[in-house]
Amino acid sequence: MIKMQSGTIFNHMNCIINFLSFSSEVLEAIENVIQDVLESLSKKKAPVLTVTRRSDWRNIEFKDSVGLQMIPYCTTKQIRSDCPRSAPKFALMLKILSMIYKMVQSNTYATKRDIYYSDTQLFGSQSVVDNIINDISCMLKIPRRSLHIGRGIPDLNTRLLVRKLWDTFRIPVFTLMDADPHGVEIMCIYKYGSVSMSFEAHHLTVPSVKWLGLLPSDLKRLNICKDVLIPLTKQDQNKLASIQKRPYIACQPMWKKELEIMAASKMKAEIQALTSLSSDYLSRVYLPNKLQFGGWL
């Protein structure tokens, strides 16, 4: 009993030490950024923050075993405090850095949504907050979860959980989502990662992900009633066209074919469209048949 308790205490102590170690690493990284700002001011120079051009495809490479990842030597851009165009972003980055610093110090957490709603007038939009947080994570070279910030689309914690399950148990991973461009986008992020977080690809992507459904080809194969189908919006069509151009689609000829079917039909469907066949069609027929007969891509 004593041995077991001592072992448990030892494990808890290790967790605490690891947490404190990583917390101090985050705090030190932020302090270094602030120190550079203060040194520039002391020399009467305009402070700048240097961030990687995360959304530039020239800084991204695709590897089938990993997904989208940043190349070692990326082009960067400067967020200047003396430039009218970038000064507001410079100020907002310092604001969010201070919020992160306080959260790490106090071991508290916030979602990106929480940060936006802490001062909506200051930030202007959720996308501004999202972009700055990703820039900060990349600039500090620290995973976003370690900055004490959890959610995205798809949810970052869910991506980490799926990756952990796959790493540990090597279980098959299937995706079931709406047959629309945004559903496909979410699936691609689970499998290949995203451009905005390509610097974390090794921790988040699950290369073995298979597309179980809802497939665009299923809509015709199952003779889904046209009344439950939804026309693609202009935004949908732009999203679909963007996905079709991505490097990983060339490695997935069956996925490419499904996207072509969607583009040609100009229609999308939610998973709930299967209820037009019967209320329990998804659980009673669709999923059992897909899993039994290998109906995934």
**What is residue 282's three-state secondary structure?**
helix
Q: Chain centroid to CA 153: how far?
A: 6
Please, what is the end-to-end C-alpha distance for the chain in angstroms?
Answer: 51
**What is residue 15's three-state secondary structure?**
helix
DSSP-assigned letter for residue 179: B
Residues facing residue 230 across a β-bridge? 268
CB 183 within 8 A of CB 177: yes
Question: For the purposes of burial, counting CB atoms within 10 Å of the CB of 203, is it exposed (0-12), middle (13-18) or buried (19 or more)?
Answer: middle
160, containing H or E segment: helix 156-169
CB 68 within 8 A of CB 60: yes
Q: What is the DSSP string of 94-156?
A: HHHHHHHHHHHHHT----HHHHHHH-HHHH-SHHHHHHHHHHHHHHHT--GGGGT----SS-H
Pairing status of strand 210-213 against strand 174-176:
parallel
Distance CA 53, CA 133 (A): 14
| Residue among 156, 131, 133, 246 at smallest CA distance from 192 | 246
Pairing status of strand 230-231 against strand 210-213:
unpaired
- Catalytic residue numbers read 117
